Structure 1
Amino acid sequence: MATKKVTEKKVAARTTKKTTGCGHIGIVKNDPYLEPYEDAICGRHDNVLRKLSQFTNNGKKSIADFAAGYEYYGLHMLSREWAFREWAPNATAIYLVGDFNDWKEDDKFLAHRIEGSGDWELRVPLKYIHHGDFFKMHVKWNGGEGERIPAWATRVVQDEHTKIFCAQVWSPEQSYQWSVKSFSPSTSPLLIYECHIGMGQDAEKVGTYTEFKDNVLPRIAKDGYNCIQIMAIQEHPYYGSFGYHVSSFFAPSSRFGTPEELKELIDAAHSKGIAVIMDIVHSHAVKNEAEGLGNIAGDHNQYFYPGERHEHPAWDSLCFDYSKDNVTHFLLSNCKYWLSEFHFDGFRFDGVTSMLYNSHGLGEAFSGYGDYFNGHEDDNAICYLTLANVLIHKVNPKAITIAEEVSGMPGLAAKFEDGGYGFDYRMAMNIPDFWIKSIKELKDEDWKPSSIFWEVRNRRNDEKTISYCESHDQALVGDKTIIFRLIDADMYWHFKNGDENDKVCRGIALHKMIRLVTVSTINGGYLNFMGNEFGHPEWIDFPREGNNWSHKYARRQWNLVDNKDLDYHYLGDFDREMLKVIKSEKNFNRTPILEIWHNDTDQILAYMRGDLLFVFNFSPTRSFTDYGLLVPTGSYDIVLDTDNKQFGGNGLNDDSMMHLTNYDSLYVDERKEWLKLYLPARSALVLRKN
């Protein structure tokens, strides 16, 4: 929800009022409409401080020291023995079974309970267990028993024939040697390429980390993106879940290769100046008991809320109990693990709205500020998310954290010191919804520049956002990408050079304009899902029984954009040049968006950022000759033209022409003059002031 306008009188009253509560009310100062909820904001902040004090022993150690559970739990090779530990308070016995003992209970592999805790420990000589061995826990509890994968397993593999998942001992003789020792992400602006390793190749199969490194990463670098957001890294039993039903939180998915191959991919990205963030899932977990955390030791609530809050009503998954210190320790350690062991540069937290509210946000309108502070919030989850951000930025001060959140919770991407939750960015989820609604419900002549300009800038002043036109969500079966909404089946018949019909020409033009107005109004970053930059024609449908387990639609057809006889390359070429122009303006995020002109009747929109002038004509039928815009005095060169023939346009402008402003005595004091431009219908220009 964007910050509401406040009168000067009210602001003055707020600044003279004595500060009450915890004193960390920066977000209230930035938005006086939060004033009635200051006590709630301070209460949440103080709750985090109490937990920080508890976890750090009153500051005697750091939160990063606390979040090192992966160094203790799980299977570890020591100098003379193997040590295995698991938290399972409800267990009565835990055996390790595997290749090393023919999968039979053996007293040599019987763990003992550590007195006074819910932890179990096993130590065996090095000679008994070897790198590559498969293993599980055989857990017993009152009234039952079963084989389980350890919660802290760092390598989990699915048998190709039986489809059964097992933990695997992973302790190669040589640890991975990083070629890039330290890395600083470029965030001005942050340009994110959202991607999925398995479907990142042409072949009808599951792609690998190495194939992505060799074949896709160079494309991303060439296209100008400086960050990749990788989906489905944490191991998940069902490939078609897109990685959102996680079973093993510390194990990189073995479908795509080895842990070392994932490290090689991240290392290669860093060498190209590309940051790597992970789509992390801490909002829920898969229900599977044999593979996941659903019933480690006979207690279904060990990791998850009891009662009505145990299962997510919409996702068929389990909801973490963030009130338990052991669960918080598990999840915080998970954050540190991926940062420290794999050099990820941060995280996009999935399903944050679901975490924030006891209702998971389902069926809620969030129409006013009171909806964020009416007692239905999960304060445990809010505390965890804030602690996670404190930890992540303690481990790596340059790390990037992004919240996928739709309710508009104030303070989510504000600094912890100001009373916020500490995310660096939040997803601007209103924007793709706006574009879908516009394409579906409005005639082209009813598109209003004033509405477009409002929507792409609708955000809180003290929070940075990631703007995007569409993500993977719109590309899934059952939905439609922007290009498919614009062109539909005509993509299959009229997307060859010289064979375009009116529908295709319209779609190509609007696809470029929608992206340009979205990226040029960012205040933090921009995101594109893999293939959408060139209008990938197919939806995403993972292998399943309903499609005879086919990989046909779980891939990206790079051959289409590489084929110069097809129109896809026009969109890909435009996307590349668009990002180049955005990056050409130094400190783009810090440059204010200065509106020059909008006219809903003409469907014209113009604004400046630094020396860049953006001009849009959304009219489907009307072109304008010598359209006057009052701009800073000087000369202007066209640096990007959506109608240029190299981007599949008509080439109606002479883009080599320098445009000079025309004198007007009325605006001498403002140092402004009239710039007269030819604006073809359904096109946009970017000009640079010399």
Structure 2
Amino acid sequence: MPRSRPGTRVRRPSCCGPTRRTGRCTRRSTRPGTAPTGCPSPWRRSPASQRRADPMKATATTETQGSSRAADAALPAAPLDAQDRQRLLSGTHHDPHALLGAHPVPGGTAFRVLRPHARTVTLVTGERTVALTAMGDGLFSGVLPLTAIPDYRLRVTYDGQTSAIEYEDPYRFLPALGELDLHLIGEGRHEELWKALGAHPMTHQGVSGTRFTVWAPNARGVRVCGDFCHWDGTASAYPMRSLGSTGVWELFVPGMDEGTLYKFDITRADGTRALRADPMARRAEVPPATASVVTRSTYAWGDEAWMAHRADRPVCQAPFSVYEVHLASWRPGLTYRQLADELTAYVTEAGFTHVELMPVAEHPFSGSWGYQVTGFYAPTSRMGTPDDFRHLVDTLHQAGIGVILDWVPAHFPKDDWALAAFDGEHLYEPQDPRRAEHPDWGTLTFDYGRKEVRNFLVANASYWCEEFHVDGLRVDAVASMLYLDYSRDEGQWAPNESGGRENLDAVTFLQEMNATVYRRSPGVVTIAEESTAWDGVTRATHENGRDGFGGLGFGLKWNMGWSHDSLEYISRDPVYREYHHNEMTFSMVYAYSENYVLPLSHDEVVHGKQSLVSKMPGDWWQRRANHRAYLGFMWAHPGKQLLFMGQEFAQGAEWSAEGGLDWGLLDPSYPARPDHHGVLRLVRDLNHQYRATPALWERDSEPAGFSWIVTDAAQDNVLAFLRHAADGTPLLAVCNFAPVVREDYPLGVPEEPHAWREVLNTDAARYGGGDVRNPDPLKPEPEGVHGRPARLRVTLPPLATVWLRPE
């Protein structure tokens, strides 16, 4: 018997009805009309004073409780057509509401109920109870001499039980999904899709319950199955109705509320069945369990000030220093709410402006680090509820820290309970296996050309921004989406209609996603992890480029060329660096082709690549000196910064998602404490100086914000450049990547400043360095050099970066 996990506690009886309901419905049925006039008085609606306070609580009761006498018997309704009966019982009827519930017939109103395993079913309305006739296979029916359909409830008993369960009939309700929703879904333009599909606790026709909706256009039938029916999809699940050509199936189940575990039991076109998690579920069970969970949010946000002002300054003209975090391993074992306190305090002290969270959407395999998503609308339950995650974002916002979320629309895993062949056909993935299979990760790609799939993803991007207040989306593996031949050999891919290798559907999807997010969520930034030279990644979607496609519309792009080249350089022994000097200067050739982020991400410190400090050459001291000098260079280089957790205190080991960070290195009793604390102090000072220096961020995307002083000192392993604020105020950055002190090193500087002051030196003793410093102030000489009108003589510490500002 399929279950969400072995040993799941069944919380409701096998009748499949919700259990905690009492009383009777006080509202009209789905049919028009009021209690019939001219009917015998027992069928009239009871006065309000006699109705129970909570009509939805199921009550275990004796069969005659609530009535002054034993139940009357109703004449059986006409038998169902044999084909309708078979389709209803097998869960393949497209409209179970046409057969079940209450319907006018000649001579009155027919009531028909499907309750597998039931011994008796009694109709309860007002103060009258009427027994329905068993028709076999769990069907019960009766005809009452009524000219209008009354409010009614069902009272059911089972073999071996002495009490009955009373509940509302799910098949007496009109569809709880509106025509506008269906129209937008059919058009693939429902920007708030998460409000239309999935499981939603709500009040419908005056009754509390949950509306279930799912897109499964190729299914012969869909049933809601869960812990409420012992995961018995063959008999006790609730059949859903098809809402026409949109492919949406719907059912309102009264009395079902938050915490219910459920899946969809889908009968495929070939007659086989599959139990699937809800693609739109907003909460899931803790893995390895796989059921979806009915949930509602009651969170009260406190970040109004943050949200009101986050769009005040364009991100390209604002400080943007990012701490990348894998939540589950930052401090293993912490919940979202515990992280809200500890992570916020840590990041605030370290001075970062933002955190970037590796994917938090639900994923079954923790070894994927969140990059193989099965629940695109559900924050992982490993660390708490969706409202707990909201609390984490809210706490960071109230501390002035933005939140970037890794988002993975490039692929999804093949788990047979998730999206793959969801309704028996290729629904979310392309039919062509050459496009569907992702060769690198053993996953499936999305069919970006299908409007409903594109809608699913575009709405998902907005969902995280609007429901969880995230301030940005870093979109993973964009290059794998853009190219049809990505990681594919000849014969393993098919060209587009123009004969090219570009995935035109993916281009359209990314443009629509970016345009939608920026329009709906002011102040949000989208960031592309794109590893090729695709033209116009951060160009507006309405602007055409030389490739003819128009911009993709991202706000920022990871500069992976910078990461590759600079890490290659810094990992070499200084004696060889002069032959690779261009690896540190080439990035400025294309620095303004896009709006860049300089990433030292998790990808750089796993799979044998070593941690950042361990990449460095030399002995213990030299490694940390190189590490500090490199960070000083990175923070001064045009572009925003991203640093993966652990590198801010020079962790020596590669990151392990299972083991977490080496926090013991910061323990006061650890012998190397000054080194690791020193690097952490440096990162803090880099961030605080960075925030306080507009020259380092105000003109990141403008060539006028940068100028070289020294680019050709390859033999010296020296780089020097100026950054310029909008008002012209400069910052001078000098890097000496040689292990020797260079005294009185001449640098050309502007004539106007009368003196320069050292504001940051990575060789300072407080950072674990040798403390080779420059006296304050440094006064320029009138003789020019390097094409500048004045000369500044600077002492360059070994393996160090120095920042100077004019007084």
TM-score normalised over the length of structure 2: 0.69
Per the alignment, residue 109 of structure 1 pairs with 238
Distance in 2 of aligned mates of 1:306 and 1:667: 63
Of 286, 295, 300, 2:421 maps to 295
- In the TM superposition, residue 278 of structure 1 has moved relative to its aligned partner by 0.7
Distance in 1 of aligned mates of 2:621 and 2:785: 40
Residues 538 and 297 of structure 1: CA distance in aligned 2, closer, same or farther (over 3 Å): same
Distance in 1 of aligned mates of 2:579 and 2:780: 27
Per the alignment, residue 320 of structure 1 pairs with 446
Of 630, 643, 660, 2:748 maps to 630
Of 651, 663, 667, 2:771 maps to 651
**Does the 8 Å CA contact 1:74/1:86 hold for their aligned counterparts?**
yes
SS at match of 2:328: coil
SS at match of 1:91: coil
Sequence identity (%)? 27
Distance in 1 of aligned mates of 2:345 and 2:228: 42
Of 628, 633, 637, 1:512 maps to 628
Per the alignment, residue 248 of structure 1 pairs with 375
Distance in 2 of aligned mates of 1:108 and 1:667: 83
Post-superposition CA distance 1:152-188 (Å, at most 9, x none): 11100136xxx3211111126x343444362544731
Per the alignment, residue 192 of structure 2 pairs with 68
Per the alignment, residue 572 of structure 1 pairs with 680
- In the TM superposition, residue 242 of structure 1 has moved relative to its aligned partner by 0.7
Per the alignment, residue 39 of structure 1 pairs with none
SS at match of 1:463: coil
Per the alignment, residue 98 of structure 1 pairs with 226
**Does the 8 Å CA contact 2:649/2:679 hold for their aligned counterparts?**
yes
Alignment of structure 1 residues 430-445 onto 2, 5 Å = 430-440=561-571, 443-445=574-576
Amino acid at match of 1:680: P
**Does the 8 Å CA contact 1:189/1:587 hold for their aligned counterparts?**
no
The answer to whether residue 277 in structure 2 is matched with residue 152 in structure 1 is: no
Per the alignment, residue 465 of structure 1 pairs with 596
- In the TM superposition, residue 562 of structure 1 has moved relative to its aligned partner by 4.9
- In the TM superposition, residue 453 of structure 1 has moved relative to its aligned partner by 4.1
- In the TM superposition, residue 310 of structure 1 has moved relative to its aligned partner by 1.4
Query: Which of the pair has the greater relative contact order for Cα pairs under 8 Å at 6+ separation?
Result: 1
Residues 386 and 140 of structure 1: CA distance in aligned 2, closer, same or farther (over 3 Å): same
The CA RMSD measured in Å over matched residues stands at 2.7
Residues 99 and 107 of structure 1: CA distance in aligned 2, closer, same or farther (over 3 Å): closer
Alignment of structure 1 residues 172-251 onto 2, 5 Å = 174-180=298-304, 182-185=307-310, 187=315, 188-201=318-331, 205-251=332-378
Per the alignment, residue 446 of structure 1 pairs with 577
Distance in 2 of aligned mates of 1:82 and 1:165: 20
Per the alignment, residue 594 of structure 1 pairs with 707
Residues 684 and 462 of structure 1: CA distance in aligned 2, closer, same or farther (over 3 Å): closer
Per the alignment, residue 122 of structure 2 pairs with none
Distance in 2 of aligned mates of 1:210 and 1:439: 39
Alignment of structure 1 residues 217-616 onto 2, 5 Å = 217-290=344-417, 292-360=418-486, 375-419=500-544, 420-440=551-571, 443-447=574-578, 450-459=581-590, 461-468=592-599, 470-486=600-616, 503-523=619-639, 525-542=640-657, 551=658, 553=659, 555-563=660-668, 565=671, 566=673, 567-586=675-694, 588-591=696-699, 592-598=705-711, 599-610=713-724, 611-616=730-735
- In the TM superposition, residue 572 of structure 1 has moved relative to its aligned partner by 0.8
**Does the 8 Å CA contact 1:305/1:320 hold for their aligned counterparts?**
no
- In the TM superposition, residue 309 of structure 1 has moved relative to its aligned partner by 1.5
Amino acid at match of 1:640: L
**Does the 8 Å CA contact 1:414/1:462 hold for their aligned counterparts?**
no
**Does the 8 Å CA contact 2:301/2:394 hold for their aligned counterparts?**
no
Distance in 1 of aligned mates of 2:583 and 2:798: 17
- In the TM superposition, residue 458 of structure 1 has moved relative to its aligned partner by 4.3
SS at match of 1:594: strand
- In the TM superposition, residue 625 of structure 1 has moved relative to its aligned partner by 2.0
Amino acid at match of 2:191: A
Distance in 2 of aligned mates of 1:625 and 1:343: 51
The worse-fitting range, judged by mean Cα deviation, of 178-187 and 529-538 is 178-187
- In the TM superposition, residue 449 of structure 1 has moved relative to its aligned partner by 8.2
Amino acid at match of 1:266: V
Amino acid at match of 1:614: A
Residues 440 and 586 of structure 1: CA distance in aligned 2, closer, same or farther (over 3 Å): closer
**Does the 8 Å CA contact 1:224/1:580 hold for their aligned counterparts?**
yes
TM-score normalised over the length of structure 1: 0.80
Distance in 2 of aligned mates of 1:607 and 1:374: 45
- In the TM superposition, residue 99 of structure 1 has moved relative to its aligned partner by 2.2
Amino acid at match of 1:558: W
Distance in 2 of aligned mates of 1:74 and 1:178: 27
Per the alignment, residue 135 of structure 2 pairs with none
Distance in 2 of aligned mates of 1:671 and 1:557: 47
Residues 255 and 667 of structure 1: CA distance in aligned 2, closer, same or farther (over 3 Å): closer
SS at match of 1:658: coil
Q: Which has the higher helix share?
A: 1
Per the alignment, residue 175 of structure 2 pairs with none
Per the alignment, residue 673 of structure 1 pairs with 790
SS at match of 1:422: coil
SS at match of 1:659: coil
**Does the 8 Å CA contact 1:561/1:572 hold for their aligned counterparts?**
no
Residues 439 and 682 of structure 1: CA distance in aligned 2, closer, same or farther (over 3 Å): closer
Distance in 1 of aligned mates of 2:632 and 2:229: 61
SS at match of 2:253: strand
SS at match of 1:213: helix
Post-superposition CA distance 1:329-373 (Å, at most 9, x none): 100110111111111112000010000000225679xxxxxx9x9
The answer to whether residue 236 in structure 2 is matched with residue 121 in structure 1 is: no
The answer to whether residue 197 in structure 2 is matched with residue 82 in structure 1 is: no
SS at match of 2:246: coil
Alignment of structure 1 residues 135-150 onto 2, 5 Å = 135-141=262-268, 142-150=270-278
**Does the 8 Å CA contact 1:136/1:147 hold for their aligned counterparts?**
yes
Distance in 1 of aligned mates of 2:788 and 2:528: 42
- In the TM superposition, residue 432 of structure 1 has moved relative to its aligned partner by 2.0
**Does the 8 Å CA contact 2:201/2:210 hold for their aligned counterparts?**
yes
- In the TM superposition, residue 450 of structure 1 has moved relative to its aligned partner by 4.8
**Does the 8 Å CA contact 2:761/2:802 hold for their aligned counterparts?**
yes
SS at match of 2:615: helix
Distance in 2 of aligned mates of 1:302 and 1:660: 66
Structure (1 or 2) with the larger CA radius of gyration:
2
Q: Which blocks of at least 5 consecutive residues in structure 1 are unaligned?
A: 1-55, 365-370, 488-501, 543-550
- In the TM superposition, residue 107 of structure 1 has moved relative to its aligned partner by 6.6
Distance in 2 of aligned mates of 1:688 and 1:76: 57
Distance in 1 of aligned mates of 2:188 and 2:403: 21
Per the alignment, residue 131 of structure 2 pairs with none
**Does the 8 Å CA contact 2:221/2:239 hold for their aligned counterparts?**
yes
Amino acid at match of 2:708: E
**Does the 8 Å CA contact 1:352/1:404 hold for their aligned counterparts?**
yes
Distance in 2 of aligned mates of 1:636 and 1:449: 31
**Does the 8 Å CA contact 1:425/1:466 hold for their aligned counterparts?**
yes
- In the TM superposition, residue 144 of structure 1 has moved relative to its aligned partner by 1.1
- In the TM superposition, residue 441 of structure 1 has moved relative to its aligned partner by 5.2
Residues 401 and 194 of structure 1: CA distance in aligned 2, closer, same or farther (over 3 Å): same
Distance in 2 of aligned mates of 1:466 and 1:528: 11
